[in-house]
């Protein structure tokens, strides 16, 4: 069983590099922080290294300041690292520059729930039915018989809350609620966590949302709904692309929509990032894979090098084959 293999790999090593994906959110962050805590409780040494800083919304998460960014890393800190615990990443490349820090003799443990995971680790535990990587981290604590501390519970709860959209998305299962129930028993202030993760939008971000919503369009049959965030909008509002979390939910929520897309002009000229959401079983992971991306059945993404018009045309053509 993969969980047991993960545990025996953790037992084999003494020092761990822990990482997650670029542009991290609360699932990657919470899973890393909880795992670092677990490793410490086993008398071992963790170091969390990420390419990008956590979003401001994750500021409250216990241990957040222990995360070391690639560009601030003293290479000496990597001495004697025998194992890399990589969470919430479908590929090793998704760790960005961290991938370059992992040497050939480092054992890689891959813990993830993306259906597009390519099993890059020496030990792979991929549970595509898991709502969040945080659920899997919870299972490791359980299997080790470690009673969660309040801080660990906050981190795992945050991981689950973000990936389930506060228990609203289709990935939410009975198990998700059972885990949440156990976590909450640690005295969590669930309303506080919800507000920090979902209702702390900067004023600029809501302005950006307004502009983005004004681009909302749909196909004649109403099955595909999409919207844009352009560089111009970001310049005018002062908001950044990474703040645009869950904008796509507005497109997805349109009655009759089977698939939703959010096109985002990135800082890199000519590169457009596309987020996808599927409804009623429309598998957007398959669509994203056509463009070299991936994710989950109901939520995926990819990048495309093209003009705005061309990116829209190609993406919509692919989506319309599947709705």
Residues in contact with Mn ion by CB under 5 A are 27, 88, 133, 163
Residue 313 beta carbon to Mn ion: minimum distance, rounded to whole angstroms: 30
* Cα 191 from chain centroid (whole Å): 21
- The residues facing 260 across adjacent strands are 225, 277
> Beta-strand (E) ranges in the chain?
15-19, 45-50, 68-69, 83-87, 107-112, 123-126, 217-218, 224-229, 259-265, 271-278, 294-295, 299-305
- Token pair 């994750």 in the structure block, residue: 58
Q: Which residue's CB atom is positioned nearest to Mn ion?
A: 27
CB 212, min distance to Mn ion, A:
23
Q: In residues, how long is the chain?
A: 323
Nearer to Mn ion, 7 or 137 (CB): 137
The answer to whether the CB of 225 falls within 8 A of the CB of 252 is: yes
Nearest residue to 168 (alpha-carbon basis) of 199, 193, 131: 131
∠ CA 288-290-291, nearest 5°, is: 70
Q: Which helix (H) or strand (E) holds 134?
A: helix 133-144
Least Å from the CB of residue 308 to Mn ion: 29
Minimal distance, residue 281 CB to Mn ion, in Å: 20
Nearer of residues 18 and 239 to Mn ion, judged by Cβ: 18
Residue number, 163 or 265, with CB nearest to Mn ion: 163
Toward Mn ion, which CB reaches closer, 51 or 237?
A: 51
Least gap, CB of 299 to Mn ion (angstroms): 10
Q: Which is nearer to Mn ion, 98 or 224 (CB)?
A: 98
């Amino acid at each position: 069983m993969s969980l047991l293999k993960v545990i025996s790999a953790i037992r084999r090593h003494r020092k761990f590099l822990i990482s997650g994906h670029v542009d991290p959110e609360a699932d990657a962050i919470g899973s890393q922080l909880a795992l670092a805590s677990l490793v410490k409780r086993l008398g071992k040494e963790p170091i969390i290294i990420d390419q990008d800083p956590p979003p401001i919304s994750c500021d409250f998460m216990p241990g957040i300041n222990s995360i070391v960014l690639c560009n601030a890393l003293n290479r000496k800190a990597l001495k004697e690292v025998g194992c890399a615990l990589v969470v919430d990443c479908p590929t090793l490349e998704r760790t960005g520059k961290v991938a370059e820090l992992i040497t050939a003799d480092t054992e890689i443990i891959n813990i993830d729930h993306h259906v597009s995971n390519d099993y890059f680790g020496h030990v792979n535990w991929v549970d595509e039915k898991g709502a969040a990587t945080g659920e899997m981290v919870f299972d490791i604590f359980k299997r080790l018989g470690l009673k969660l501390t309040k801080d660990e519970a906050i981190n795992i709860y945050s991981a689950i809350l973000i990936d389930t959209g506060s228990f609203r998305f289709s990935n939410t299962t009975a198990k998700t609620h059972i885990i949440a129930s156990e976590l909450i028993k640690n005295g969590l202030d669930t309303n506080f966590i919800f507000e920090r993760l979902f209702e702390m939008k900067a004023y600029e971000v809501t302005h950006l949302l307004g502009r983005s919503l004004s681009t909302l369009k749909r196909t004649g049959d109403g099955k595909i709904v999409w919207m844009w965030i352009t560089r111009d909008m970001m310049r005018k509002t002062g908001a950044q692309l990474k703040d645009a979390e869950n904008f796509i939910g507005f497109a997805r929520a349109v009655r009759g929509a089977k698939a939703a897309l959010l096109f985002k002009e990135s800082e890199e000229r000519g590169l457009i990032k596309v987020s996808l959401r599927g409804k009623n079983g429309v598998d957007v992971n398959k669509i994203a894979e056509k463009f070299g991306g991936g994710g989950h059945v109901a939520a995926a993404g990819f990048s495309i090098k093209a003009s705005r018009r061309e990116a829209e045309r190609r993406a919509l053509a692919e989506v319309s084959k599947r709705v």
